[in-house]
Amino acid sequence: MTTRVYEPTPSKQVAFLGLGVMGYPMAGHLARAGHQVTVYNRTASKSIAWCAEYTGATGQNGLLNHAPTPRQAVHGAELVFCCVGNDDDLRSVVLGADGALAGMAAGSILVDHTTASANVARELYALAKAKGLQFVDAPVSGGQAGAQNGALTVMCGGDLAAFEAAKPVAMAFSKAFTHIGDSGAGQLAKMVNQICIAGLVQGLAEAIAFGDQAGLDMNLVLEVIGKGAAQSWQMDNRGKTMVAGKFDFGFAVDWMRKDLGLVLDEAKRNGARLPATALIDQFYADIQQMGGRRWDTSSLIKRLNVK
């Protein structure tokens, strides 16, 4: 994990809902940046552990808390961040008598980092507006390592004023925090991101399998072609681990299939043609059948009978 240098920003009272592999370190960066953070997680023991870890790391005794419901967690917060699994998980923490919208103060902002559908983003934006609140859909790219290092790329949809108010605080865990457009645009941009990743990983898998079959030293080949036009983040970060047959590096196949499902559903609505993406989604289904549900996305190479 790299050492993060925090830019000074005024301390805010914030809440963070969802302490999974992404949310746990993201909330931690908010605490390290000096913000007063209250967390909520469906499994309360994780919230308790988070408070113990970051109180010790930051010395913010009494300024880091956990709450038993989202509604209680957001009490008094100027900004509420959320990072959960899918549309249904998002609705479960935002809506209802114990949901975030029921407890947020007028004018406060909910920034959702879940990778979800554009439709649920627009739905929650409208519901927030009706309550005098603000909602920004803000899915992230960079994976677990990006969350741990405070180096996520964040794509945002919603009102510009809400985006600008959230950005200085969100930069605690971001290297880029960009307004893409109206509500739902952040989620659509994340779909573009996942389409690109799926194609890149499949191309890299086929290239490594081809080179291996041809008897080449693929670590050497990757070093050479990584200095030319074939270079990509996937090649730099996953090429040699694919050669080594190691697939325990973050973003899991199950989550990629969830994301590609969102992509393909959206494509049916907007008429986009995604033949390669649809095919690679089925390749990931093959990996699931091979027992690789928790392998990382570079495990596509396992389908290709690499020696």
pLDDT in tens, 168-200: 999 999 999 999 999 999 999 999 999 999 999
Place of tokens 């699994």: 85
User: Which among 39, 41, 40 is positioned nearest to 30, based on CA atoms?
Assistant: 39
Residue 62: per-residue pLDDT: 80
Q: Which residues contact 199 (CB under 8 A, 6 or more apart)?
A: 276, 277, 280
Q: Give the tens place of pLDDT for each residue, 241-254.
A: 999 999 998 789 99
Q: In degrees rounded to 5, what are phi and psi of residue 208?
A: -65, -40
Token digits of residue 118: 């554009």
Token digits of residue 140: 């992230």
Determine what percent of the chain is predicted with pLDDT higher than 90.
91
List, in sequence order, the alpha helices (H) in the chain.
23-32, 44-58, 70-73, 87-94, 100-103, 118-130, 143-149, 160-170, 185-213, 218-225, 233-243, 253-270, 275-289
Residue positions annotated with a catalytic role: 190
Q: Output the CA angle 253-85-244, nearest 5 degrees.
A: 25
Q: How large is the greatest C-alpha to C-alpha distance in the chain, in angstroms?
A: 65
Query: Is the pLDDT at 224 greater than 90, yes or no?
Result: yes
What is the value of pTM for the model shown?
Answer: 0.94
Query: Is the pLDDT at 257 greater than 60, yes or no?
Result: yes
Place of tokens 């005098």: 132
DSSP code at position 78 = S
Residue 288: per-residue pLDDT: 98
User: Which among 202, 233, 212 is positioned nearest to 300, based on CA atoms?
Assistant: 202
d(CA 100, CA 249): 32
Q: What is the mean pLDDT of the chain?
A: 96
Q: Give the tens place of pLDDT for each residue, 33-92.
A: 999 999 999 999 999 999 999 998 888 878 999 999 999 999 999 999 999 999 999 999
Residue 157: per-residue pLDDT: 98
Domains of the chain are 13-181 (3.40.50.720), 189-304 (1.10.1040.10)
Residue 9: per-residue pLDDT: 79
User: Which among 193, 195, 128 is positioned nearest to 158, based on CA atoms?
Assistant: 128
Residue 1: per-residue pLDDT: 53
Q: Give the tens place of pLDDT for each residue, 259-275.
A: 999 999 999 999 999 99
Q: In degrees rounded to 5, what are phi and psi of residue 21?
A: -65, -25
Residue 188: per-residue pLDDT: 98
Residue 2: per-residue pLDDT: 61
Q: Which residues contact 176 (CB under 8 A, 6 or more apart)?
A: 153, 154
Q: Give the tens place of pLDDT for each residue, 3-19.
A: 677 777 789 999 999 99
Token digits of residue 243: 């050669």
305: number of Cβ within 10 Å? 9
Q: Read off the pLDDT of each residue in 220-230 and give the average, rounded to a whole number.
A: 98
Query: Is the pLDDT at 98 greater than 90, yes or no?
Result: yes
User: Which among 193, 195, 219 is positioned nearest to 208, based on CA atoms?
Assistant: 219
Q: Give the tens place of pLDDT for each residue, 116-171.
A: 999 999 999 999 999 999 999 999 999 999 999 999 999 999 999 999 999 999 99
Residue 262 one-letter amino acid = L
Residue 307: per-residue pLDDT: 55
